[in-house]
């Protein structure tokens, strides 16, 4: 457990070699990366992951905080000068924000179904209807945390508009287990200080190599974000996979790990 102002962060540090920090999605915690760790460690990387504030085993008081400062605190506490950042969804957004705010600490960024703060890649009419259903479940009276979590497993696990159960049963069960505590009405989440101006206005400032991996079974704006990064960031490449949705590291961990290892291999070793 790492103490940070107004909170505590549960951190796991495995393996030896150049450090990679895995940043989880907003519907999960660090367990979403469980299957990714062994192949990355086997490829001689040091793999660090932590539960963000109010996720998993980490806690926060009702305070303002910066997720970027929390990431910096984790790296400082573990003696990591520079790292490759791998972020899924919300974690990807954090990785890009951090690369803009602290470029000297970032070797490369891998966005996995990642967002970019302030960027809207649009949505299809079918996705608009799914969003309306999402909002209806979230605002139902009485509120049903189980129903909301099950809906999120379908949207983020199986994929929007995909058949129920497309994602493997064990992965769906873990996604539900991670998500249910996040939907409790009494959860204290703190108040996050956003990057200002947002990353969408500063993509040209992301100077490190970027790999943006997106699944076409995800919301269409995720693939649009990957394409935007490839077009507008100085050193970015988009990879689109037709057979995955949002939680790519849970769906195809070995394939994603191999893609990350191949992406990082040409870079000079770091610590």
Question: 109 phi and psi, to 5 degrees?
Answer: -125, 135
Same domain, 40 and 156: no
How many structural domains are present in the chain? 2
Same domain, 41 and 133: no
State the DSSP H helix or E strand holding residue 96, giving kind and residue range, or none if neither.
helix 90-101
Same domain, 116 and 210: yes
Query: Do the domain assignments include residue 269?
Result: no
Same domain, 87 and 152: no
| DSSP category for residue 154 | I
Query: Do the domain assignments include residue 60?
Result: yes
pLDDT score for 271: 86
Compute the Cα dihedral for 189, 194, 198, 203 and give only its sign. negative
Query: Do the domain assignments include residue 198?
Result: yes
Domain limits at 153?
126-183
Q: How far apart are CA 117 and CA 32, in angstroms?
A: 22
pLDDT score for 225: 98
pLDDT digits 0-9 by tens, 42-55 = 999 999 999 999 99
Burial 209-239 (b: 16+ CB within 10 A, else e): bbbbbbbebbbbbbbbbbbbbbeebeebebb
Same domain, 225 and 150: no
pLDDT score for 115: 95
Same domain, 136 and 254: no
Same domain, 231 and 157: no
Same domain, 22 and 113: yes
Same domain, 89 and 213: yes
Query: Do the domain assignments include residue 217?
Result: yes
Same domain, 58 and 170: no
Which two three-digit tokens encode residue 160? 């929007």
Q: How far apart are CA 153 and CA 132, in angstroms?
A: 16
| Stated pTM of the model | 0.97
pLDDT digits 0-9 by tens, 89-120 = 999 999 999 999 999 999 999 999 999 999 99
Same domain, 170 and 224: no
List the chain residues with pLDDT less than 70.
Answer: none
Q: How far apart are CA 46 and CA 62, in angstroms?
A: 33
Same domain, 140 and 65: no
Question: 39 phi and psi, to 5 degrees?
Answer: -65, -30
Residue 270 DSSP SS3? coil
Q: Tell me, what CATH number does 256's domain have?
A: 3.40.50.1820
pLDDT score for 261: 98
């Amino acid at each position: 457990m790492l103490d940070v102002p107004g909170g505590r962060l549960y951190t796991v540090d495995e393996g030896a070699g150049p450090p990679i920090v895995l940043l989880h999605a907003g519907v999960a915690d660090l367990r979403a990366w469980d299957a990714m760790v062994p192949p990355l460690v086997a490829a001689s990387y040091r793999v660090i992951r932590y539960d963000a504030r109010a996720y998993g085993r980490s806690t926060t008081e009702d305070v303002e905080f910066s997720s970027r400062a929390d990431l910096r605190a984790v790296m400082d506490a573990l003696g990591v000068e520079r790292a490759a950042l791998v972020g899924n969804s919300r974690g990807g957004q954090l990785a890009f924000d951090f690369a803009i705010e602290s470029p000297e600490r970032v070797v490369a960024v891998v966005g996995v179904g990642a967002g970019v703060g302030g960027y809207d890649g649009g949505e299809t009419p079918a996705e608009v209807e799914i969003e309306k259903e999402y909002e209806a479940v979230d605002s139902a009276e009485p509120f049903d945390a189980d129903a909301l979590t099950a809906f999120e497993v379908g949207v983020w696990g199986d994929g929007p508009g995909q058949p129920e159960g497309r994602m493997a049963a064990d992965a769906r069960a873990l996604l539900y287990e991670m998500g249910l505590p996040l939907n409790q009405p009494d959860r204290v989440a703190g108040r996050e200080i956003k990057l200002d101006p947002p990353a969408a206005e500063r993509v040209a400032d992301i100077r490190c190599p970027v790999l943006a991996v997106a699944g076409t079974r995800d919301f269409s704006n995720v693939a649009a974000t990957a394409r935007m990064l490839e077009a507008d960031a100085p050193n970015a490449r988009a990879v689109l996979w037709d057979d995955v949705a949002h939680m790519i590291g849970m769906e195809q961990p070995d394939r994603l790990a191999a893609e990350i290892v191949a992406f990082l291999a040409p870079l000079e070793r770091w610590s």
